[in-house]
Structure formats: structure tokens, C-alpha cells
Structure 1
């Protein structure tokens, strides 16, 4: 029943994409040739509609290849937006290339811009509505997927508790199989039965409706895996395995291979892919140039006030550790009196620190002292978004004290970051900050960067923890 529902939903998504593209076509036509009409139409409505049909076929085909019509239960909405944008942008490139080859140059560029924006906006909007409605239905017990967990030990119980935290995913655990426990697993007035022994899996699968089997067994029980997988495949049921060493794995581990041997990539970083690094770098350059141009009067004013507030250079340079553990000089507006570098490199700034000037205190709390770092971005030392860089002295200290601390150096450091927009700025927990940094490194998308930038503006630049 579940598989039929998912196949039905996949068809609904594909059909709705077709409808949405036609709606975008008519809206774009009305806006361009009725509302914004300049009286010039070199191509007829029928010709536009024919090109629209070609675009429709292209988007649906590419969406299918990108997996947009497969099961979305475990996918994030952000990932779906990314794929939708990817499908439309690739279709635009194909579409424009065909127009160039066939020398069809009379299509309105304003119309094309409206058409593409309308398509992406409507697709993202309707998918959000569908996702939201499905979450509500699943919370109320509809569209359920039934799971059987093999192993009622630590792994199995953690998995069960994790499923309980996310009712919107629509999973229901019908019970456990375990060789050493009987009766029920009880948790917060909930009882999940331990149905039988693991070697009785064949019988249990015949007696109960099961959509997926989750193997949550310790490493020493690996010899059971072959029979488990064979029994599930014979019953036509999917098998999911929780590795006993899952706490070493990233949020989204990937599988590499050497020859015919599969390898689990412990630290898969999206920005290791060249095309993704290129787009992020291109965005960094364009965004930084715009910011520096728009804020140039403010930068000049701050520079003048820094010079006026105390003797010394306007720009403060300090060594930080960045991408691939390479050192670079970070730029800031100077907020302290001139002092020995050994002191500033090895000490935290504290509340009411006598080294900070009056104007410098304002710059720190408002984060305006960070503005020169857009020059670091243009140089390639930093990115607009990324983990904040730290001084070498503290990097050497934290790498020994905090697990996973050095993972942040797999990407360029940023002016703002996921940890910072979640309140972890200034004098806050380094351990908590690293958790957010690692999540960013492992889950980077362009949409994620935009979200962080918007959140930076919405939450403001005032930092109560900055001294």
C-alpha cells in the first residue's frame, strides 16, 4: 500500500510540474504582452507555446534524472529546493542553446526572465505546501511506513527514540526482534513489543505488515547479516543497516570505491566538488564587491574615526588558520590600542578590557570591525559564509581538547557562519560552536549560504558577547 502511495505521489509531482509550467507560461505571457506590452511581437503565441512544451519536457526529464520524483520522506526541503533550481537552470541552458543553434533570436528576453522566475517560484511554493500537508497527515497517523527493528540494544533504542522525535516523517516501529530480550521495551508510557528472536525473521515478516527492516545489531553480530538480507529480499522488503560505529560518520556519509571494493567516506565535504567550489567562489567575489561598493562611504567614515580615537594603524592584521590549515592575515578595523602581538595572539578579550578603545568597543559590539574582511574574501583567504577562523595558538589548543575541531578547516572560513547566526558568537561554548561548524561543512548548499546571510541580517549585527 505504501509503495503504491509513493508511486502515486511521484506521478502527482510530475503532473503538477507540467501544470505549474503551463501556469507560469500563461502568467508570463499576460505580464509581458498584456501588462508590459510595448506593441512589438515578432513571434506568435503559438510559437511561444511550442517552445514552452519543449521546456516542459526538458524540466520533467531532468527532474526525473535528479530523483525529484522519488520518495522524499527522508529528504530535507532545502535539498528539494536545490534540486528544483538545478532542474530549471539546466533546462534554461539547454533551451537557450537550442535557440542559439536554430537562430531563434526574437523571443523576448523580458518574457524569458519572467517565465523562469515564475517557474521556480511556483515550483518551490507548491512543493512546500505538499511537504507541509504531508507532515500534518503523517503526524495524525496517515501515510505511515511500518518498520521492524532488529536488535533491542543501545542502537535499536536510540533509533526508536529518534523516530519518536520526528513524527512528521511518518514512520511507525511495530516492534523489535532480539535474541537476548523478551517482553516489551518501555519508554515514557510507550510500549514496543519484542516480537521474537532474530532467526525467526521469516515468520515475523509473514505475520506483520512491514515496509522496512532496520538492522541495529552490534559489530560482533555481523555473521547474521547475510541471512537477514536474504530473508528481507525474499519478502520484497527494504533493509537499512545502522553501523555500530555510526557516531564516527557524518550526517550524510557517501560511498566511494577502489576497484570492486566499496569504501565508506567518513568525511564527505560537498565543497570538495570543483563545480560547487567555483559557484561559491563566484558568489563570494560578486557579493563582496557589491558590499564594498555600497558601504564605501561608511568604511571611509569608520577609518577616519579609528584614526581619531587612538594613535596607530587603521587596519589591524592578525594571523588566523584557514582552509587546509593554512595561515593567513585577517583584516579588521583596529579596536585596541597598539600592543605587543604576542599578547593579542594568545589572550581572549574580556569584559571591560582596558586595551579596547571607546570607539573600538562600539565597533566590536556592532560587528562593524569585521567589514575589512570582505577584502580577505576577494583575496581568497575567506568566504562570505563559513566557520569563523581562529588564531594558531588556540587552534593548537582546541585540536587536542575538542573532538572534530579541525574539520572546520576543510572549507574556507567565513565572515558569518551557521554557529554565529544561532547565537554562538564571542564568549560562548567552543564545543557547541564546533557542532554547528561541522554540520555546515557536511551539509553545505548554496541555499544554505543564502539562508545564513539572510539570518545574519534578520538577527542583526549587535553581539552582546563581544567585548
Structure 2
């Protein structure tokens, strides 16, 4: 894992992106050389622009989710991912051609060849991602602990997104912890540093919650770190590997003294300018879709077109969110708030379609312009549910230290849910966003949202 602009990217994914960008660059160079005589090519102009084109195209597709592991996807999902990449990339590539300084020495045939090469490389990457790949120089990992936490760490590392990282074994600390991992991988030895050096360990993960009374060999862990090994606790591990801050392994001291969770005026101003510019652009582009949606709602079920509801925003302040109405007007005629659910019988026919395509969320762009919401952030909940969740889930209020969003990290990383357990899972992603939010992460979430909408992932 590499941390770039406060966000973690899998090393093997970055290696794939770099390889594909270089492959596309060389393919473009070869295509142009084969179409033209070399003496007609302005190399000082062509080479930098070809490299920029390659990086832009590969970067676009990485943001659209092409490089996410597909080994557990269905064939239908894998095909949808390829088609999405090709459908989005080819028009963008053609538009980029119009601004690149290639017009003087490239023909329509050359541009067509480059587009075909781009489509071929994208398809190749999608096929390769159907198999689990390993990162070069994958670290050798030692897990401290043998219980349930150690097992959850091993399972997280075995996910295809981790690039085949090798768990060498489990070091049993001095605690009566039931062995829930493979007993054959439990290592013997009194000194942690000696065991780690003997096995050429690069990374040590502490999967033990209780650290007092000599449970965890802190001095030996320090020796491991001073010897050049990376040492992670459970909170830092799950933040890095799964893009979430785990509530079950979280302590207030980690929130206070750890990195992240920084809120300042400069960051707020930059985010506000970004929100205003993007929200205005999206409203202009989406205006025809919003008009048609309003007419369909009126034709099917009459008014009102919009649905306004109280939600909890920044600092716990109550505001009214605006959405296209997707449920019957008597959806809560008894006055009791209810979780929305999959295949909810209160949803109208038009509502089912606009929910699937996320069109019902578009009016919230007005909330963004007003300043109640941001484009990206934790989704705002109703006060009734906030009171319930805050009483049951520790640190739930932390998500209110940033503006709620039209979309969010939890929405592109976790399927739709309608229970307290689902709220806990989403909170863990929300805490990651609150801790690490930057414009880079916001842009990544927006691209991922486009992918989720176009592929229908997590629709309800």
C-alpha cells in the first residue's frame, strides 16, 4: 500500500496503472510511426503529448474502477465494467485528440488506430483482472495474535485487492487467546525480534486488543520497528487495507493523537469552491433529465414533485434536504419514521427507476449551492435515526464534523443497507473519509459514483 494525498492505493494497482500507461504510450508511438514517415513527426511536440494522453486515459479508467479486482465478480459484472470503460474512454479520447498538437502530422486513420489500441488495452486489463494478481516485492507479514482479530486480518489480506500479500505466520503473545487460525502457522519462539528476523519479516500487524499486563511485547515491537519493519495496530491496518476506520478497534486517544481529522479554514474554502463549481456544472448538464423526471412523477402520481425532509448536517444542525419524490404521498401516514428497504412497497414505478439511477438525488445539488451539503461527504440521516444510532454506536457523532454529501465514500464502497449493523459498516467508511478527505479523494468518489450509477451497483 502506498499513501498518496492521504489516501491509500494498493501497490499492485499502481504497478498495473503504470504498466498500462507505458504500454499505451509505446503503442501510440508505434501506431504513429507506422502510419507516417518518421521525418514528418515533430518529436519534441509529439512525445510529451502522447505521454500525457496515455496517463490521462489510464487515470480516467482507474477512477472508473477498471483496476479494482474482478475475480469475485460475475461474468455479467465483468462485461459491464469493460463496456463502461470503453464507452466512456473512446469519446473522451476522441475529444482529447482535438486539443492535442497532433493535427499537423496525424491522419484520421492514425487516430482510429490509437482508439482501437486503447480499446484493446482496456479489454486486456479487464481480462487480466479476472485472475488474482500479486504485487512485485509484496511484503512478508507476521501477525501478532491467534484469535478472531488475527483471523479477520488474514482474511482481509487474502482479498484479491491486496495483491497476494504473504502472511508468513502468527506469533502467539503471552495471553490465553483461543487459537482460531491455522495451528500449523502459529510460530514458536520467545523473542519476537529473533523470530521476525529469522523469517525475513517486512511488516508486523498487532491483532490483539488488550495491551496491558505484558500481553503485547511492546519493547520487542519497538525493536522490530527500529530494525526497519513496519508495525501496525488494528485501526491503522483496516484503515490502510479496507479504507475504513473500524469502530470495534477504535479508541478516543487514536482519534486525538493520530494523523488526520484535521479541519481548517483553508481546506473548507477549497472544498466550497470545488462544490460550487461542480454543482453548477452538474445542474446545467442534468437540467433536461430533471425536467423529464418531474413530468413523469406528475403523470404517474400527481404532485408534489419534490420531497423535503429534515436531516442532520454539519455540527448536528438540522436542515431540510430536497429530493425527487420516489414514494407514495402516504408512505409514512402513521407518522413513524421507517428505514427505506430494498424492494420497498412504498416506492412508485417512476420512483423505482429514478432510485436505481440515483436521479432522485439530483435536487440535492441545490442544497450544495445553498451550503447545507457538500458534493462528497457522509450521507445525512434523519434526526430520529441519528438519536437511535448515536445511542448504540460509539463515535457516531464524529461524522457530523464535516458537511454531509450528495454521495460519499461509504456509498461507493458498501451496498445499500437499512439496519443498525449496516449503519455501523457505513460509519466505518465515513470515519475514514472524515479522517482523510482531500480533493483527490472527493474526485475519486465522484468518478466511482458515476461507475456505480451506470452499472447499477448497490441500487435499491
How far apart, CA to CA, are the structure 2 residues paired with 1:173 and 1:364? 47
Compare CA radii of gyration and give the structure with the larger one: 1
Cα-to-partner distance string for 1:286-322 (whole Å, 9 max, x where unaligned): 2333222244244234335544xxxx75544332223
Is 1:432 paired with 2:422? Answer: yes
Match of 2:363 in 1: 375
Cα-to-partner distance string for 1:77-134 (whole Å, 9 max, x where unaligned): 459xxxxxxxxx9xxx9xx99x9xxxx997999999999989987887776677666x
How far apart, CA to CA, are the structure 2 residues paired with 1:129 and 1:61? 20
Once the two structures are TM-superposed, the CA of residue 28 in structure 1 deviates from its matched residue by: 6.7
Structure 1 alignment gaps of length 5 or more: 1-6, 35-42, 67-75, 80-88, 254-261
Match of 1:446 in 2: 443
Alignment match of 1:264 (pick from 238, 251, 258): 258
Once the two structures are TM-superposed, the CA of residue 429 in structure 1 deviates from its matched residue by: 1.4
Is 1:286 paired with 2:278? Answer: no
Q: Pairwise mapping of residues 177-216 of structure 1 onto structure 2 (< 5 A)?
A: 177-178=171-172, 180=174, 187=180, 190-198=183-191, 201-202=193-194, 204-205=195-196, 207-216=198-207
How far apart, CA to CA, are the structure 1 residues paired with 2:196 and 2:409? 47
How far apart, CA to CA, are the structure 2 residues paired with 1:241 and 1:388? 30
How far apart, CA to CA, are the structure 2 residues paired with 1:245 and 1:50? 45
Alignment match of 2:382 (pick from 388, 391, 394): 391
How many residues are aligned here? 385
Q: Structure 2 length normalisation: TM-score?
A: 0.58
Q: CA 1:292–1:438 in 2, change beyond 3 Å: closer, same or farther? A: farther
Once the two structures are TM-superposed, the CA of residue 192 in structure 1 deviates from its matched residue by: 1.4
Is contact 1:365–1:462 with CA below 8 Å preserved after alignment? no
How far apart, CA to CA, are the structure 1 residues paired with 2:235 and 2:415? 33
Q: CA 1:458–1:347 in 2, change beyond 3 Å: closer, same or farther? A: same
Matched residue of 2:380: which SS?
coil
Q: CA 1:224–1:408 in 2, change beyond 3 Å: closer, same or farther? A: closer
Is contact 1:248–1:266 with CA below 8 Å preserved after alignment? no
Cα-to-partner distance string for 1:228-255 (whole Å, 9 max, x where unaligned): 4445644xx52323158978999467xx
Match of 1:86 in 2: none
Alignment match of 2:46 (pick from 44, 52, 58): 52
Alignment match of 2:405 (pick from 409, 413, 423): 413
Is contact 1:377–1:384 with CA below 8 Å preserved after alignment? yes
Match of 1:83 in 2: none
Match of 1:3 in 2: none
Q: CA 1:61–1:151 in 2, change beyond 3 Å: closer, same or farther? A: same
Is contact 1:177–1:195 with CA below 8 Å preserved after alignment? yes
Alignment match of 1:20 (pick from 21, 24, 29): 24
Once the two structures are TM-superposed, the CA of residue 191 in structure 1 deviates from its matched residue by: 1.5
Matched residue of 1:328: which SS?
strand
Q: Structure 1 length normalisation: TM-score?
A: 0.57
Q: Which has the higher contact order (CA 8 A, sep 6+)?
A: 2
Is 1:300 paired with 2:295? Answer: yes
Q: CA 1:197–1:335 in 2, change beyond 3 Å: closer, same or farther? A: closer
Alignment match of 1:327 (pick from 318, 329, 340): 318
Structure 2 alignment gaps of length 5 or more: 1-10, 60-65, 70-91, 246-255, 434-440
Match of 2:338 in 1: 348
How far apart, CA to CA, are the structure 1 residues paired with 2:355 and 2:430? 24
